[in-house]
Amino acid sequence: MRLDLSPGAVLLSGRLLDDAPALLTGLAPILECAPLRHMQTRRGYFMSVAMTNCGDVGWVSDRRGYRYSALDPASGQPWPPMPAAFCELATRLAAEAGFAGFHPDACLINRYDIGARLGLHQDKDEADFSAPIVSCSFGLPATFLWGGATRHDKTQKIRLEHGDVLIWGGAARLYFHGVQPIRAGVHPDVGDFRLNLTFRQALAR
């Protein structure tokens, strides 16, 4: 089912229910090479969400701030490559939402254990905001918050479930958004956590 949330923001609910097992299997070797970790913020706190990446570059945070890096700071090695099947799927999902020619070079992998949350923020570390972001949710449900172009805009809540895809582009690309603390539960296929994959074009093409 397709829901247009605002100009440029599309929810494809349950879109990945059939693809989820293969995607999660494809994730396992990536997590072995580049384990999930709690990154530090500029202010010195550790994020409750555990993160890692695959692709040409990955999103990192530390005491120096946020940026994309070609190397995993934990290993000093390049991030694991983005599997072709992931990249092709993200391109297809973007096209379904009306964004033709999406070529992600980064995939941020977020794991939310029970209670983990993501404060309201904008994704603005990418070089080109004309490319959308494709987000895929698995495991426990989340209450996703999305606002507007300023931090003070009113937020709306959407429940994101296993297999849901959100595509953010156009006017919505720089909207503030966040995730409320994950509530206790067990997803029958995934377990007691939520996974979110966001496909991004981080570098200028």
Name which of Fe ion, ligand MD3, none residue 110 binds, using a CB cut-off of 5 to 8 Å depending on partner kind: ligand MD3
- DSSP β-bridge partners for residue 168: 9, 133
**Cβ 132 to ligand MD3, closest distance in Å?**
8
Residue (105 or 123) nearer to Fe ion, CB: 123
| C-beta of 68 vs 168, nearer to ligand MD3 | 168
Looking at residues 95 to 124 of the shown chain, list those that interact with ligand MD3 (rule: CB under 6 A).
108, 110, 118, 123
CA dist., res. 170 & res. 145, Å (int): 18
Distance separating the N- and C-terminal Cα atoms of the chain: 32
Stretch that binds ligand MD3, among 28-36, 37-45, 66-74, 168-176 (CB under 6 A): 168-176
Residues 6+ apart with CB under 8 A from 37: 50, 51, 52, 74
Q: Of 120-149, which residues contact ligand MD3 (CB under 6 A)? A: 123, 133, 135, 144
Q: Tokens for 118?
A: 């993501």
Binding status of residue 123 toward Fe ion by CB under 5 A: yes
Separation of alpha carbons 172 and 132, rounded Å: 9
| Min CB(18)–ligand MD3 separation in Å | 21
Q: Which of 127, 119, 138, 120 is nearest to 198 (CA)?
A: 138
For ligand MD3, which is the closer residue by CB, 6 or 76?
6
Q: For residues 46-65, which are near Fe ion according to CB under 5 A?
A: none
Query: CA geometry: angle at 24 spanning 18 and 29, to 5°?
Result: 150
Q: Which residue has the tokens 């172009």?
A: 149
- Binding positions for ligand MD3, rule: CB under 6 A: 108, 110, 118, 123, 133, 135, 144, 166, 168, 172-173, 175, 177, 179, 196, 198
